Structure 1
Amino acid sequence: MTRPPVAFRRLRSQDAALLRRLNAVFAEAFGDRETYQGDPPPDAYLRDLLARDHVIAIVAVRDDEVLGGLVAYEFDKFERMRREIYIYDLAVAAQHRRQSVATGLIEHLRAIAVQRGAWVVFVQADHGDAPAIALYTKLGAREDVLHFDIAVGSGAPSARLAP
């Protein structure tokens, strides 16, 4: 018996429940339940967020199971009249890795980028994350950069140099 194909779809305002299921995949994949499930926002907040054109959430589903997904943000640039799309989170559930799910997610995002008139899609990977580095190397040109988190007030993460 053959499995149904993986479907890739952009989440919209009516998909808050799917976004919660994607957050569960992120929590497991990143080993960070506190961030992704510790204090979930209400559905109204998620519906508003998913209704915004510059917020892009895509899920990979098969038989109503969320296999993985990504969250990206579109930026309008000042130095040129163009847009860039930044992949902020991308994960695939462990049992569905090495099945081209992540590649399919990025390809779906690339199609959205074309529709939105974006100039480039970009993403960061942590040093030592060999699977992510291999995937992104296959799909694009590598740049070595330093990433800094800058605190914006009390309760914010302290500024640190990413490893």
Structure 2
Amino acid sequence: MAERDWLIVEAETVEEVMGAEALYDGPARREWAERFLASPGHHLLLARATDAEGPVGMASGVQMTHPDKGTEMMLYELCVAESHRRRGIGRGLVDALGQLARAHGCYGMWVPVDADNEAALATYRSAGGRTEELCQVPVWDFAPAEEPSGA
């Protein structure tokens, strides 16, 4: 595959979101895909390659606004299919999300990443990201809630 024999597009339909399921951590649900697309500030970028049927990479981002900080982009998730790694697609997705963030008036972008995920850290560094001091991430696991009717 020649360099840059791929392009990045923003998902606009539920079918596009569902079609990237192989790149997610688990199965996609149609109602969640619909909600994602309907939520302002939620973005899903897809990398498409000429030698593949479906998307070969994805990056999701969520714009967050705080009263004393303004709006920033959180790079929520990044994945490139094993068959298409080391071709610049991951960096291209990060760069494209950064451009999208700037276009939406975000003052910056950040991503939580496991400290031992060297591949991800290398990708983010190559796209101009810098690592700030290490932090701990407390998490809360809640039992799955029933979707409210009309949601």
Using the size of structure 2 for normalisation, the TM-score is 0.82
In the TM superposition, residue 45 of structure 1 has moved relative to its aligned partner by 4.5
Q: Which residues of 2 match residues 23-102 of structure 1 at below 5 A?
A: 23-27=21-25, 36-37=26-27, 40-42=28-30, 45-63=32-50, 64-80=53-69, 82-102=70-90
What residue ranges of structure 2 are gaps of 5+ in the alignment? 146-151
Indicate yes or no: 2:132 matched with 1:134: no
CA 1:142–1:45: 2 relative to 1, 3 Å: closer
What per-residue deviation string (whole Å, max 9, x for no partner) do you get for residues 88-132 of structure 1?
A: 110000011110001110111111111100011100111211111
Give the corresponding residue for 2:149.
none
What CA distance in whole angstroms lies between the structure 2 residues aligned with 1:125 and 1:49?
Answer: 22
Indicate yes or no: 2:115 matched with 1:148: no
What per-residue deviation string (whole Å, max 9, x for no partner) do you get for residues 37-69 of structure 1?
A: 1xx423x55234213331010000023431110
What residue ranges of structure 1 are gaps of 5+ in the alignment? 28-35, 157-163
Question: Quick check: 2:72–2:109 contact (8 Å CA) kept in 1?
Answer: yes
Q: Which runs of 4+ in 1 moved over 3 A?
A: 1-4, 153-156
What CA distance in whole angstroms lies between the structure 1 residues aligned with 2:99 and 2:80?
Answer: 20
Q: Which of 85, 104, 113 pairs up with 1:125?
A: 113
Amino acid at match of 1:57: L
What CA distance in whole angstroms lies between the structure 1 residues aligned with 2:55 and 2:62?
Answer: 21
Identity over aligned pairs, percent: 19
Q: Secondary structure at the match of 1:56?
A: strand
Aligned residues: 141
What CA distance in whole angstroms lies between the structure 1 residues aligned with 2:143 and 2:85?
Answer: 38
Give the corresponding residue for 1:108.
96
Give the corresponding residue for 1:30.
none
Q: CA RMSD in A?
A: 2.2
Give the corresponding residue for 2:14.
16
